[in-house]
Amino acid sequence: MTLAEQTELSEEGVDEVLGAHQTGVLALARGDDPYAIPVSYGYDATERRVYLRLVSTPDSEKRRFLTSSPKARFVVYGERDGTYRSVVVEGCLETVPREELTVERIEQYGTAERPLFEMWGETRHDLDVELYEFDPETLSGRRVERDFDDSAQ
């Protein structure tokens, strides 16, 4: 397999990738401690904002990383027909206070289903559900066309 072509995605290409998926990986850090988790999300291409619904327990590792209003990276990726596309979103997560929730704002979280990896041993009343908006400082994407012809090596 040889790498045939690698190109930067246009703004439209980035919007297409973010609009086509429902899950990605959120990466946070505190000092030298990294933390990354798969999450579901919504995306508004007009505002170019990512919307996250994060569920955690009060004592969870996720909650400890989120309490510091962290700078974050969010990665969405996929492959289809030999074309791999990925998008990296960088910026700060902003908590949406419950008193600021409106129907229009909640709609931004999309129709993404809860992914199978979001399983909890705790009862629902022990879970904290927080809504976040991710207003990106940078949005970047790559497309890689792969050549699967082994004879080309």
Q: Which residue has the tokens 């000092």?
A: 31
For residue 91, the model assigns a pLDDT of: 92
Model-level pTM?
Answer: 0.77
Strand partners, 88: 75, 140
- Top-confidence residue, 42 or 112: 42
Query: In the chain, what are the domain boundaries?
Result: 2-152
Q: What is the pLDDT of residues 51-73, one digit of tens each?
A: 888 887 777 888 788 776 668 99
Q: What is the pLDDT of residues 92-139, one digit of tens each?
A: 888 877 776 676 766 656 554 444 444 445 455 567 777 788 889 999
Q: How much is the mean pLDDT over the chain?
A: 78
H helix or E strand, kind and range, residue 50: strand 49-56
Superfamily of domain 2-152: Electron Transport, Fmn-binding Protein; Chain A (2.30.110.10)
Higher pLDDT, 27 or 69: 27
Residue 36: is its pLDDT beyond 90? Answer: yes
